[in-house]
Amino acid sequence: EAGVAQSPRYKIIEKRQSVAFWCNPISGHATLYWYQQILGQGPKLLIQFQNNGVVDDSQLPKDRFSAERLKGVDSTLKIQPAKLEDSAVYLCASSLGTESVYGYTFGSGTRLTVV
């Protein structure tokens, strides 16, 4: 089966600019996650979708970050305006469902550098 696709792989922007990341999960996976991985830290969940509905966005900085999953398939994560501390790898993952027994499949990530 095809994996989780993410684009772009790398992005460099200046602070206060906007940026968007795209994720295409594994076909049939109802649950989609966006994680932020800052260098030297473990991944931190930003937002979790079940189909096209949000089930957890408690750690999403909503003043600058937004995400959507139209039609319950692809998802985009946007940052506007970006800050230096947003420099990180943004990982998308998907799973069959929200039940704990399901593992996640991660994409390769988008490395964002804010200068």
Q: Based on CB atoms, which residue is closest to other proteins, 28 or 103?
A: 103
- Looking at the DSSP assignment, which residues form a beta bridge with residue 5? 24
For residue 16, what are its two tokens? 């206060």
Alpha-carbon distances of 44 from 2, 70, 80, rounded to whole Å: 25, 23, 19
Write down the least CB distance from residue 59 to other proteins, Å. Answer: 9
Q: Based on CB atoms, which residue is closest to other proteins, 76 or 108?
A: 108
Contact residues: other proteins, CB under 8 A: 4, 33, 40-45, 48, 50, 55-56, 91, 93, 98, 100-101, 103-109, 111
Q: Based on CB atoms, which residue is closest to other proteins, 17 or 28?
A: 28
For residues 22 and 74, the answer to whether their CB atoms sit within 8 Å is yes
Q: What gap in Å lies between CA 114 and CA 48, rounded to an integer?
A: 24
Q: Based on CB atoms, which residue is closest to other proteins, 63 or 99?
A: 99
Write down the least CB distance from residue 109 to other proteins, Å. Answer: 5
Write down the least CB distance from residue 81 to other proteins, Å. Answer: 27
Report the alpha-carbon angle 8-98-5, nearest 5: 15
For residue 20, what are its two tokens? 């968007």
Write down the least CB distance from residue 100 to other proteins, Å. Answer: 4
